[in-house]
Amino acid sequence: MSVRLAPRRGAVTLEYAVVVPLFFFLVLAMVVGGLGVFQSNQIGWLTWEAARWAAVHGGQYAQDTGQPAASPSDVYNNVILPQSSLLDPSKLTYSVTWDDPGEMPTYLDSNNNPQTNRVHVTISYQWLPTMLLGGMTLSSTAEMELYN
């Protein structure tokens, strides 16, 4: 003898109504998370590139070419701004400092000890994800010796 089950009308519709929104939420969360990882990597690369450019355009560059050594605004205008195409410049902050901006890559300090001049670049970006998760500050710091 076989037992007949009652028809399950609307069961598929109910399952669909529960599973599909969860699926789309997870897909959207992965896309937004991927964009965050991409922007974090872009900030890291941009920081390294700014430090490299500032290291190449230091005191030795000024002496060799007769041009002034790079300033923080030069680093921003020549490297950070042109290469931050997918970032909103209004949410970007930067800091560029040298151990001693007027010195050569290697110099003698007041005690006649050799010192290596370094440039320090920090870039921060206020990232606001598309989803309502609140903001997050992405930040990267690079330090590089000035080139001879």
**What pLDDT, on the 0 to 100 scale, is given for residue 48?**
96
User: Would you say residue 78 lies in a domain?
Assistant: yes
Domains in the chain, number: 1
pLDDT surpasses 80 at 128? yes
**What pLDDT, on the 0 to 100 scale, is given for residue 140?**
96
**Domain range holding 119?**
12-145
First and final C-alpha spacing in the chain: 94
The predicted model scores a pTM of 0.79
User: Would you say residue 138 lies in a domain?
Assistant: yes
Query: Which residue would you say has higher pLDDT here, 71 or 107?
Result: 71
pLDDT confidence bin for 103, thresholds 50/70/90: low
User: Would you say residue 5 lies in a domain?
Assistant: no
Q: Are 80 and 50 in contact (CB under 8 A)?
A: yes
Helix (H, G, I), strand (E, B) or coil at 137: strand
**What pLDDT, on the 0 to 100 scale, is given for residue 1?**
63
Query: Which residue would you say has higher pLDDT here, 99 or 121?
Result: 121
